[in-house]
Structure 1
Amino acid sequence: MAFLEITVPPLPHYIASGLNSIPQDGQHPSRSNIQVFDLLITKSGCFYIGEEDARFEVNVGQAVILRPDRYHFATKACSELTYTYWLHFHVGGEWELIKPVSGAAVSLEDPASAHMPTETFVVEPFKMRIPQFTTLLHPEKMYELFDQLHQLQANAHISSVRFAQQQLFQEMLHQLAASAETDHASASRACAEKAASYLRQHYREAVTAKQLGDELNFHPVYIARCMQKEYGCSPITYLLRLRIGQAKLLLLQTELPIAHIAQEVGLEQAAYFAASFTKFEGMSPRTYRQQFSHRL
């Protein structure tokens, strides 16, 4: 299964939607480079469409997302009257279409990726992953959302209504993502999320790769591969980032000695804490605290 992976923020943006009918022996129109994503959901009947080397037979309760930069073409005529919901949306940030393949094992450590820009509070992007083609878990819910969008369209010139449409669209994306949760491809995400949850609960403790593997009942190399895929770093680096983030809060909000803060976030050796903090933030813990000190 291919996935559309969107980096958030910014959130994908709803543009327009509607309901189309394709007569018996008719075809979905062929189009090229329409510059927006096209979400298509079959309400009744079935239609056939292709994108590059992919071919989709979209039956009732199934959804397909077509890319904005490719040629889309009908591969077969409809054998019956077919109704399809359509929705155009825009992605303002980074995105890619991913076709999962089994990758090589990654290292448990990746110090090269440890450095992050110096900011008081870092807004860390996350990945929104939705299937390009899927059978909806709750198709009737999706139909209802489309109908609500249609009802709002007459007043779409009002800002509050546009905001309501965006909220409905976000719920659609949630429904699409949920439809793929039982797919094998989500196993990697589930493993990574479990590992991240464990690290967040135990960041004050000394956590080893073996301990993490024992707790999750997965091989440490597999956990590392999953976290690299989902979060872009190894468990070791994820844990260190978490500890440094917590240390920044304590430096900003308390007057605790730096050595005490190091212990609070699970780094017993003050020298190692200072070196790690400097590597991530480009300045020492002391300098970081001083930049927020009150000046008369």
Structure 2
Amino acid sequence: MAFLEITIPPLPHYITSGLNSIPQGGQHPSRSHIQVFDLLITTSGCFYIGEDDARFEVGAGQAVILRPDRYHFATKECEELTHTYWLHFHVGGAWGLINPSAAPLVSLEDPTPKEAKVEAFAVEPFTMRIPQFTTLQHPEKMYEVFDQLLQLQSRSHVSSARFAQQQLFQEILHQLAASGETDHASASRTCAEKAASYLRQHFREPVSAKQLGDELNFHPVYIARCMQKEYGCSPVTYLLKLRVAQAKLLLLQTERPIAHIAQEVGFEQAAYFAASFARLEGMSPRSYRQQFSQGT
């Protein structure tokens, strides 16, 4: 199954939507490089469309997302009267079409961090995965959201209505993402979330891969694979980033000695704390504190 993976922020942006009817013997229009994503949801009947080598038969209760940078073409005439909701949206950040069926190789060790842009309170990006083609879990709920969007069209010049449209669009994305979660994917996410929760509760203590595995009743390699998939890093790196993030807050909000802060956030040795901090933030804890101190 192919997924549209979107990096957030920024949030995907709703543009416009509508309801379309295709008569028996008619086709969905063929278009090329329309520069926006096109979400199509069939409420009755079925239409047939292609994108590159992919072919989609979109029946009632099913959805497909067509890319903005591809040629889309009808592959067959509709055999009956077909009704579809359509929605155009824009993705301002990074995105890609992926096939996550092959699990990536992961390491239990801490990889060398990339050069960091130093910020006092950095925004941590995350990804949303939406199936390109899916059968909706709750079609009627999706139809209700689209009807609400259509009711707002006449007031789309009003800021409050436009904000409400964006909120409804996020609910649509949430429903689409949920429809693509298989039992395996749900188990993977549950494992990753349990691991993250445990690390957040015990980051001040020494935590080994074996200890984490014993606590969660999963093999450490499976935990690492799940966390890599959901958070983009191994448990070791997640724990390190968490400790450094807590240290950054203490450096800015308190006058405690750096060695004391290191111990408070789980580093047994101040030298290792300083080295880890520098690798992630690009400067020493002392320099970080001085850079963001008042009057500097």
Pick the TM interval, shorter chain: over 0.9
Residues 174-202 of structure 1: CA deviation (Å, up to 9, x unaligned): 11112123353444333323322221122
Match of 1:242 in 2: 242
Q: Is 1:58 the equivalent of 2:50?
A: no
Counterpart of 1:224 in structure 2 is 224
- State yes or no: 1:43 paired with 2:43: yes
Task: Return the alpha-carbon distance in structure 2 between the equivalents of residues 64 and 287 of structure 1.
Answer: 50
Report the equivalent of 2:265: 265
- 1:141 alignment partner in structure 2: 141
2:6 alignment counterpart: 6
Q: Secondary structure at the match of 2:97?
A: strand
Q: Which runs of 5+ in 2 are unaligned?
A: none
CA shift for structure 1 position 215: 2.3
Q: Separation in 2 of the partners of 1:104 and 1:85?
A: 36
Does residue 179 (structure 1) correspond to residue 179 (structure 2)? The answer is yes
TM-score (norm 2): 0.94
Q: TM-score, normalised by structure 1?
A: 0.94
Offset, 1:269 = 1.1
Which residue pairs with 2:33 in the alignment? 33
Q: Which amino acid aligns with 1:272?
A: Y
Cα distance, 1:295 vs. partner? 4.0
Partners of 2:186 and 2:95 in 1: how far apart?
A: 18
Name the SS of the counterpart of 1:111 in structure 2.
coil
Q: Aligned-pair distance for 1:103? A: 3.5
Query: Offset at 1:60?
Result: 1.1
Question: Is residue 71 of structure 1 aligned with residue 71 of structure 2?
Answer: yes
How far apart are the structure 1 equivalents of 2:115 and 2:241? Answer: 9
Aligned residue for 1:184, secondary structure, equals helix
How large is the Cα RMSD of the aligned pairs?
A: 1.7
Q: Say yes or no: does 1:109 pair with 2:70.
A: no
Q: Is 1:132 aligned to 2:132, yes or no?
A: yes
3-state SS, counterpart of residue 69 of structure 1: coil
Q: Aligned to 1:40, what secondary structure does the other structure show?
A: strand
Aligned mates of 2:173, 2:104 — CA distance in 1? 30
Shift of the 137–103 alpha-carbon distance from structure 1 to 2, 3 Å rule, reads closer
Q: Deviations over 1:231-282 (max 9, x none)?
A: 2222111110110000000111122222221111111111111111122122
SS of match in other structure, 2:55:
strand
Alpha-carbon distance in structure 2 between the residues aligned to 1:229 and 1:16 = 32
> Is the aligned partner of 1:92 residue 2:98?
no
Deviates more, 1:226-235 or 1:265-274: 226-235
Which segment is superposed worse, 215-224 or 154-163? Answer: 215-224
**Structure 1 residue 275 corresponds to structure 2 residue 275:** yes
CA distance in 1, matches of 2:16, 2:134: 21
Partner of 1:287: 287
In structure 2, the CA distance between the partners of 1:47 and 1:242, relative to structure 1 (3 Å rule), is same
Identity %: 81
Q: The residue matched to 1:72 in structure 2 has which SS?
A: strand
Distance in structure 2 (CA, Å) of the matches to 1:294 and 1:80: 70
Structure 1: distance between partners of 2:255 and 2:235: 30
Partner SS for 1:188:
helix
Gaps in structure 1 of 5+ consecutive residues: none
Q: In the alignment, is the contact (CA less than 8 A) between 2:113 and 2:280 conserved in 1?
A: no
1:27–1:47 contact (8 Å) kept in structure 2:
yes
* 1:211 match: 211
